[in-house]
Structure 1
Amino acid sequence: MQTDQAGMLAKPIAYLFSSGNMGETLYRAIPKRRRIFCGFSCGLGSLVVPTYIIEISPFHARGAVGCCHQFLLVIGILASSAAGFPLSDVPLWRVNYALVVVPAIIQVCLMPTCVESPRWLINVNRPLDAKAVLERLRSGMSIHREFESIQSAGDEAPLPPATAFMEERDETSKVSPISPTTEACNLDPQIKVHASKKANLSLVGIFRDPAIRPMALMILCLHVIQQLIGMNAVMYYSNQIFAIAFDASMSKVMALCTTVVNFLMTIVAVATIDRMGRRPLLLLAEAGACFFSILLVIGFIFQIPAILVFAVFGYVASFAVGVGPIPWLLPSEMVPTYASSAVGAASTAANWTMNFVIGQTFPILFEWMQGYSFLIFATVALLALVYTYFKLPETKGRSIESIMTSFRAEGLSAAKSP
């Protein structure tokens, strides 16, 4: 999959087909094939949109602009939750589904105004078009260094397997996986090998390539963690959680308030991610998710409504500020263009697969364990915190080449250790 206009256009067209037909079926069950089209649209959007946003964003605001994907998702969730209040009864719930046609039509109409991604144009050997697009996006600003950086990222050749992690290096040239200070002038010569034109890596290829494999596995893990940390379980069953403290009508209002908290804290993420960096925000979010999951358990055990409400809001806030947006940024920030599509596809598939697993298994766990089920999410959050602290590099202000160098240095260090 490429982040070009054709890929972007496929998503709203599939939405138009699925949601429009859902709206027509006012007095019969929705055919499964229409749900499949809706699922296809969701999966495609999860892959194409964040990648496209990152690839057209300016280097200094990559994080804030990239977070707009999650921010707009939350706006959509908030809008659909608000619309669902008057349209939740039979047969009006089908009208709620049909309303998806509106943003889909808007997107189809606006697609001609969207430019191709400069990185994609470089990747298909159209550098002049890429330069013209970049000049349009930057509105008169100097693009020389950024254009060279995009060319460098697009032309990086995979390292030969025999030399990728086993070549001897001087100890002083190693780069910390956490330090963002190494830039293009200090890059490893092996990583600056260029090819005139090379094919994109396949889903299998990203795990065979020794230069890409560690980054692909890390991004995959973070997407799995995003779901296993339990946010969707809280959102899907917030009504049941709030029903312990409130009546049915008030539970719906509190569930809507949860979405508002999600929206507000995503704004915080957009405002702070390029100042604080990805690692600090993600560590803070995972620590918060662990703490508030434990608080949820306490609230359930002792049936304390105030603690339950505070824990749910705190949990949602923790997720929104880091665990939600950051995994979607990483494929385009860490991986060169020739591998970003495959890595993005693999991580998106893993994300939605775990979403399905959580959606299907949490009701069973909750019925069996009640409030203690949130101890599972607390454990996942704690393990994620440890993993992020020791493994995830900071990507703020760093080129893809610099990040690849640090991964290679870490791999070489591991290979040298007894």
Structure 2
Amino acid sequence: MSFREENAENRDLQKPFLHTGSWYKLGTRQSSLMSSTQALRDGSISILFCVLIAALGPIQFGFTGGYSSPTQQAIISDLNLSISEFSLFGSLSNVGAMVGAIASGQIAEYIGRKGSLMIASIPNIIGWLAISFAKDSSFLFMGRVLEGFGVGIISYVVPVYIAEIAPQNMRGTLGSVNQLSVTIGILISYVLGLFVNWRVLAILGILPCTILIPGLFFIPESPRWLAKMGMTEEFESSLQVLRGIDTDISVEVHEIKRSVASAGKRATIRFADLKKKRYWFPLMVGIGLLMLQQLSGANGVLFYSSTIFANAGISSSNIATCGLGAIQVAATGISTWLVDKSGRRVLLIISSSIMTVSLLLTSIAFYLEEIIPKDSALSNILALVSVAGVVLMVVGFSLGLGPIPWIIMSEILPVNIKSLAGSIATMGNWLVSWVITMTANLLLTWSSGGTFLIYTIVAAFTVAFVALWVPETKGRTLEEIQFSFR
């Protein structure tokens, strides 16, 4: 046997296989690879089940956001509310979400990701019951604030939980399930709102959280949180369940332990510490993306899509809104499939570029409609162009700027500042969301063309922000991503 052949055989004999953590000889390579495939399959099923349970939270999130659209006229009529009172009702979920976002990081830090989702479910259930049995505006407003509080916690905890349990090659796809579930929740509320009254719709809003609470007992806690809390046995057991019972997890265990050890268990982080580049840079990227996501005006357009379609001359605006919701779900589903193939950064640039072009097209169409006679053929064409622009904007948003900022936020924040920084980023997102939803209707009343021009400028700035500042995180472990900022 030659020297080269002998070395090749030795290398083969020393290859570890993902079976029981043992060393296998060359002759057993085929059966070992088959065992590895089975183990990975079992782990994938376990992770998928965990993600589907956690996704009930974002479905609740979307249902809360979409509830006000199909119920506006009925609630105003039944409870004798003014337009301003109903606008306040719609915006109070954002106010509650800001409070929930502030608390979310600390709650998730001290009682874990699963405990946080359980706590978030309780005010959601109470809030929906308060709305369903409301006799006046006080119960209506109280229920909306409680819903918002729960949604604020959910919006931070679910992306973090998914990022912490997912293997690096599936993290983008599984992370996108968060936003996909939000869009599904919105669509469900739109469709059900066509057939049931607002009180029944509120009762149906309880279902996601009533399923989520028992479901949490069947999924493991985040292994990275367990490791940070010093629960070594629970940490390794949780990771083993998530990766498959026959999978060798020793390398990943070592990486997570090293990352946690360098961060320090329960390290106290002050605002002054955020001045260090290893902290302020990922925080700036996370906050910037989440705020630009809202400043692009997507939620304002979605919340008032019926008004926009009516302004464009569409008679069945509620049905058109349901169609827009379905398109959003489909586009977000495409993003879920693409995000681990093309990468986060590329999708963000494509997404914000599509939004820039479509928003500019819509703005020009609305400006021209104001100066062209309403009954002319050109006016009808411009109406179709403006509707197409809105649809294309929603598609662009759903491909990247909708789901990916939440993924990146959960990936890049160092473990020892995740609770503080995550709360700040999530609160910033909800604060801007509240501003956009409060001003969008007023801006559309002022000038539809001017409103879309403002959103165009923000979308164009987003392209530059992503190109200059946002790192690519595809194919890297959380520990590798966070270490790179050092």
TM range (shorter): 0.7 to 0.9
Match of 1:141 among 220, 228, 247: 247
Structure-to-structure mapping, 1:38-57, within 5 angstroms: 38-57=147-166
Q: 1:116 and 1:205 mapped to 2: Cα distance? A: 31
Matching residue of 1:201? 269
Match of 2:169 among 44, 60, 63: 60
Matching residue of 1:9? 118
Q: Which moved more, 1:123-132 or 1:334-343?
A: 334-343
User: What TM-score do you get using the length of structure 1 for normalisation?
Assistant: 0.83
Structure 1 residue 346 corresponds to structure 2 residue 424:
yes
Match of 2:459 among 381, 390, 396: 381
Contact 2:130 / 2:142 at 8 angstroms: preserved in 1?
no
Structure 1 residue 117 corresponds to structure 2 residue 222:
yes
Amino acid at match of 2:353: A
Match of 2:212 among 107, 117, 125: 107
Q: 1:364 and 1:387 mapped to 2: Cα distance? A: 28
CA distance 1:206–1:115, shift in 2 (3 Å): farther
Larger radius of gyration: 2
Structure-to-structure mapping, 1:347-362, within 5 angstroms: 347-362=425-440
Contact 2:256 / 2:479 at 8 angstroms: preserved in 1?
no
Q: 1:243 and 1:68 mapped to 2: Cα distance? A: 32
Structure-to-structure mapping, 1:252-331, within 5 angstroms: 252-303=318-369, 304-331=382-409
Matching residue of 1:237? 304
Shift of the alpha carbon at 1:155?
A: 2.6
- Percent sequence identity over aligned pairs: 30
Matching residue of 1:390? 468
Shift of the alpha carbon at 1:149?
A: 2.3
Q: 2:481 and 2:392 mapped to 1: Cα distance? A: 33
Structure 1 residue 403 corresponds to structure 2 residue 481:
yes
Q: 1:227 and 1:119 mapped to 2: Cα distance? A: 30
Amino acid at match of 2:329: F
Q: 1:287 and 1:278 mapped to 2: Cα distance? A: 14
Shift of the alpha carbon at 1:331?
A: 2.7
Q: Which has the higher helix share?
A: 2
Q: 1:76 and 1:296 mapped to 2: Cα distance? A: 27
Matching residue of 2:180? 71
User: What TM-score do you get using the length of structure 2 for normalisation?
Assistant: 0.72
Q: 1:404 and 1:112 mapped to 2: Cα distance? A: 30
Q: Which moved more, 1:316-325 or 1:362-371?
A: 362-371
Shift of the alpha carbon at 1:132?
A: 0.6
Q: CA RMSD in A?
A: 1.8
Say which SS state the counterpart of residue 221 (structure 2) adopts.
coil
Amino acid at match of 1:305: A
Unaligned runs of 5+ in 1: 158-194, 409-418
Q: Which moved more, 1:19-28 or 1:377-386?
A: 19-28
Q: 1:77 and 1:131 mapped to 2: Cα distance? A: 37
Shift of the alpha carbon at 1:404?
A: 4.3
Contact 2:345 / 2:470 at 8 angstroms: preserved in 1?
yes
Residues 382-415 of structure 1 show CA distances to partners (whole Å, capped at 9, x for unaligned) of 111111101111011123454345444xxxxxxx
Shift of the alpha carbon at 1:198?
A: 4.1
Q: 2:295 and 2:453 mapped to 1: Cα distance? A: 12
Shift of the alpha carbon at 1:7?
A: 0.8
Shift of the alpha carbon at 1:29?
A: 5.1
Aligned residues: 364
Amino acid at match of 1:93: W
Shift of the alpha carbon at 1:143?
A: 1.5
Contact 1:230 / 1:377 at 8 angstroms: preserved in 2?
yes
Unaligned runs of 5+ in 2: 1-105, 370-381
Residues 74-122 of structure 1 show CA distances to partners (whole Å, capped at 9, x for unaligned) of 11111111011123xxxx3122122211111111121111211001001
Shift of the alpha carbon at 1:59?
A: 1.6
| Runs of 4 or more above 4 Å deviation | 26-29
